[in-house]
Structure 1
Amino acid sequence: MPAKFRELLGEQFVVTKGFDGCLFVFSEEGWEAFEEKLQALPMDKPEARMLGRFFIAGAIDAEVDKQGRILIPANLLAHAKIEKEAVIAGVGNRAEIWSKAEWEKASTFDDINSIAAKMSEYGLSI
């Protein structure tokens, strides 16, 4: 893990399944805030229970070893299709870990006009 991300996330953090075939990496504080929101969801709703299982059940506490690596279990590597090379991207309040191939697909923005339209749709402007 690059030193820049270690500074932002701390030496210990949480890794869990993310959207679009990546892994989410939260600082301990960021994870606690996110987990609190998940725990507050109404458990009588099947979708709320599913969200808890998706994010919480597979989450692991992780840390960087002396060589700057993170030990990620096989089930999370499989979720992200990581076999050899991985890419770490900072995304607001978290980092994302991608297989190199999946990142190349996810980060290719062929239609800048549709991105601009989505920004407008969400009330974002530059």
Structure 2
Amino acid sequence: MDTVGKHFPKKRETLSEYTALENAYLDGMREILSEVAARRHLEIWGMRSNNPHIRKASEESSYAIDRLRSSLNETQCELYGLMEEAMSTEQGLEEEEAFVIGFLEGYRFIKELQRSGGGQTLV
């Protein structure tokens, strides 16, 4: 509310006007933070995890996929490739969405900590 008041100093008649301005501000911040998070996700998306459980699961799935591919005929292999590409695209979009949501939730958490006096300025 303080931030909204600084940028819109005109005396407001009703609390609903403040609420509308605050919602517009929050929507703008959400849009900006979503863009920042999406860019950050793209920067780190191709990085290989150091988590041994994830690495092991990745190796096992690669091995299984290679075995499956080697048992398919040409038409089946082509169809499998199309399916794999579609599923990979879907998974990538879901991961990006989850990353952005987590980023926004983290931002909200930090702002609430600062508002409550429980957090210092984070640098």
Q: TM-score, normalised by structure 1?
A: 0.26
Per residue, is there more strand in 1 or in 2? 1
Which structure is richer in relative contact order (CA contacts within 8 A, separation 6 or more)? 2
Q: TM-score, normalised by structure 2?
A: 0.26
